[in-house]
Amino acid sequence: MDLHFTAEQRHDDGTLEREFILGEIPGTLWTPGSVSDPAPLILMAHNNGLPKSEPRLVARARTTAAHGYTVASIDAAGCGARPHSAAAMQARADLRRAMQAGEPVDEIFESLVGPLVEGAVPEWRTALDALLELPGLNGPVGYSGWTALGIRLAVTEPRITAAGFFAGGYVPRAQREEARQLTIPLRFLLQWDDEGNPRQRALDLFDAFGSKEKTLSANMGGHVGTPAFELAEGVGFFGRHLK
Amino acid sequence: MDLHFTAEQRHDDGTLEREFILGEIPGTLWTPGSVSDPAPLILMAHNNGLPKSEPRLVARARTTAAHGYTVASIDAAGCGARPHSAAAMQARADLRRAMQAGEPVDEIFESLVGPLVEGAVPEWRTALDALLELPGLNGPVGYSGWTALGIRLAVTEPRITAAGFFAGGYVPRAQREEARQLTIPLRFLLQWDDEGNPRQRALDLFDAFGSKEKTLSANMGGHVGTPAFELAEGVGFFGRHLK
């Protein structure tokens, strides 16, 4: 399957932002103004399948690219701007209702996120295959973002050699089990009062990861309150492992 | 009380390391090769009153100084190379015996560390007064190291505006209470499997700090296993708050 670029935009900092399509998979590729050799690639995904156009993901991708990384994101099957399944839409409605009513949400999260991960992983691997065929992309691969997707990707994809995860309160059972199989260096971000991610579960997940080198970095505030300096420290983490 | 320098040594990186004496208090001052204006000062103490000559503290002080900070450490009353009280020596012996026997150690820690903090804090404040009289030392003040001492110092000493703490498993009751009064930016390092610092207590202490800006950074391994990159991130933390 060939990857076709459909649009491009050059930013003031020299970063090139290109939209691509790969079969049915839409993606965005951010390339730094000057590329090192080998040129590392970071796969960047937003929690629970939010779109690759989400402004916080775009800001993170552009900052990371400005530090010399090629960054890629896709809207995988059932995620982002792709059609959502009827079951997923029902689960999201159930989730809202259960949260408002203060009812348990575990099983609803399981029925929503489990299938999302199952559907998304093959497409991220397809995208990785195609991206590594691009001229100049010959470096090690990292992953950044959505915890559940990242766990499955990292345990099935030996080309991923370092990962940064965010928020691990609700992770499907299958990925909580797989966490023990993870051995690559990890950086795990936690927002101490994340309204949608119970703290103790995130701490238990961090404890479960099999990696010898893993760092938990926890900050005050809710889900979207991660301080700006964490992005710089994340770039430092990838610098230690991908460069 | 006047501070007298008694020895000095210039290192290859330009850092100047000077021993000083202030009344009965012996100290070491590390000054960077080139000093910024204002010139920030970091007070650096080792857990449980270990000596300022301890090689890991010296390495941390020299690296921090090489990043443009003046760093000071003292052996406060009852700590380091100063005479240890008979009660403290008895408590350390009791502690070793209780740990080997797998017996509870809380009360022994309380009887050892509580008085150490009480005795050390006035001397650190005396040292801070004298250090800020030195020519060129006119910047904000940070604290790095021993958690229990740092809590008491930070709540009693408004000149301290940012603090990095390490290991908070056993902290005297008085400082666990005072933790809530702390409001300055904090960076709290935890070794996930620290044999001498129960993890849950350290997490509870982190939760208790009153600071709005506080970061927990946890890494794998035992008490002396803090990875080297944490020192760089600590320097980054002080850079955000003291420069």
Render pLDDT for A134-150 as a digit per residue (tens, 0 to 9): 988 888 999 999 999 99
Please report residues of B whose CB lies closer than 8 A to that of A183.
none
The H-or-E segment that residue B163 falls in is strand B160-166
Q: How many CB atoms sit inside 10 A of residue B173's CB? A: 10
Predicted local confidence at residue A49, as pLDDT: 84
- The answer, yes or no, to whether residue B36 has pLDDT greater than 90, is no
Please report residues of A whose CB lies closer than 8 A to that of B213.
219-220, 227
Helix, strand or coil, per DSSP, at residue A141: strand
Interface test with B, best of A182, A205, A230, A233 (most B CBs within 10 A): A233
Q: Considering only residues A143 and B167, tell me which one the structure prediction assigns the higher pLDDT.
A: A143
CATH for B3-83+116-242, options being 3.40.50.10490, 3.40.50.1820, 2.30.110.10, 3.30.1490.20:
3.40.50.1820
Minimum-distance CB partner of A233 among B211, B216, B233: B233
Q: How far is B5 from chain A (nearest CA, A)?
A: 38
Helix, strand or coil, per DSSP, at residue B196: coil
Interface test with B, best of A205, A220, A240, A241 (most B CBs within 10 A): A220
**B65 CB-side CA count, 13 A:** 27
Asked if B206 and B168 count as a contact pair (C-beta separation under 8 A), the reply is: yes
Predicted local confidence at residue B225, as pLDDT: 87
| Amino acid letter, residue B33 | G
Please report residues of B whose CB lies closer than 8 A to that of A207.
192
For residues B95 and A82, what is the distance between their CA atoms, to the nearest angstrom?
62
| Amino acid letter, residue A20 | F
Would an 8 Å CB–CB cutoff place A220 in contact with chain B? Answer: yes
Please report residues of B whose CB lies closer than 8 A to that of A231.
none
Would an 8 Å CB–CB cutoff place A218 in contact with chain B? Answer: yes
pLDDT confidence of B220, banded at 50, 70, 90?
A: very high
What CATH number has the domain spanning A3-83+121-242? 3.40.50.1820
Q: What is the mean pLDDT of residues B81-95?
A: 91
Q: What is the mean pLDDT of residues A87-102?
A: 91
pLDDT confidence of A195, banded at 50, 70, 90?
A: confident
